[in-house]
């Protein structure tokens, strides 16, 4: 049987997808590089040509998850009707990476993986900020918001809400999360000069999940 030769990027993505499936179905700790090799029927030299360790493969999987989520959210914004505020509401409710990657996120929430968890968060927020800035700009044109620094507002909102509500970053007490969840809508409305009550939709999801719904 002839040996199948694939392009480097195609082979790399194939390995990432296989690892992602295994990390999700049998958990990261229980998965070995040999498991990935067996699932693809590839040699040891092939997988280590692309990834020096399981940790390096995990990093690639995380980047893949972030990129995929960003593409989905970009598509949502492109196709969604409504004004800038309505699109922001839709984006916040639709952009929950954790919903489809529970085992992977559970692993990253362990104390030993703090650095990798922070890398994933910062990579995600860095991609999301320009997308939210686009909606803030739209809202400004529609008279809903008023700011000359939409990107900085987007960064401030995303990073502040995420890092002050995510129990995976810090074991915040529920009373602190509830207190912040109630205050965030008012703070964001003042920052964007939005109508009162515009961001009240954020309160319940944050209180329920213990983190910003965009991640």
Question: What are the two backbone dihedrals, phi and then psi, of residue 170, each rounded to the nearest 5 degrees?
Answer: -145, 140
pTM for the predicted model, two decimal places = 0.78
Q: Judge if 31 and 91 occupy the same domain.
A: no
Same domain? For 17 and 107 the reply is: no
- Spatial CB neighbours of 181, under 8 Å, sequence gap ≥ 6: 165, 202, 203, 206, 207
Same domain flag for 150 and 64: yes
pLDDT of amino acid 175? 94
pLDDT tens track for 19-32 = 999 988 887 888 99
Same domain, 66 and 167: yes
Specify if 1 maps to a domain: no
- Asked if residue 73 and residue 22 are part of one domain, the reply reads no
Q: Is residue 2 part of a domain?
A: no
Together in a domain, 80 and 180: yes
In a domain, 182, yes or no: yes
Q: Report pLDDT for 215.
A: 45
* pLDDT reported for residue 105: 65
Domain hosting 37: range is 7-52
73-118 tens-digit pLDDT: 898 889 889 999 999 998 887 755 555 666 666 666 666 566 667 7
Which pLDDT value is given to residue 53? 95
């Amino acid at each position: 049987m002839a040996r199948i030769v694939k392009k480097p990027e195609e082979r790399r993505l194939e390995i990432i997808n296989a690892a992602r499936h295994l990390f999700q179905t049998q958990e990261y700790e229980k998965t070995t590089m040999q498991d990935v090799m067996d699932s693809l029927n590839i040699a040891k030299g092939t997988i280590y040509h692309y990834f020096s360790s399981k940790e390096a493969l995990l990093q690639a999987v995380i980047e893949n998850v972030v990129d995929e989520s960003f593409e989905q959210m970009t598509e949502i914004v492109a196709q969604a009707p409504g004004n800038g505020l309505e699109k922001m509401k839709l984006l916040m409710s639709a952009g929950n990476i954790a919903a489809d990657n529970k085992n992977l996120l559970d692993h990253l929430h362990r104390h030993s993986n703090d650095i990798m968890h922070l890398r994933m968060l910062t990579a995600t927020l860095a991609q999301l900020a320009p997308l939210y800035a686009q909606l803030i700009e739209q809202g400004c044109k529609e008279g809903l918001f008023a700011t000359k620094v939409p990107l900085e507002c987007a960064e401030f909102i995303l990073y502040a809400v995420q890092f002050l509500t995510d129990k995976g970053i810090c074991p915040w007490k529920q009373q602190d999360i509830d207190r912040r969840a109630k205050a965030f809508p008012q703070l964001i409305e003042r920052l964007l000069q939005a109508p009162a009550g515009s961001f009240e939709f954020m309160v319940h999801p944050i209180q329920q999940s213990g983190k910003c719904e965009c991640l």
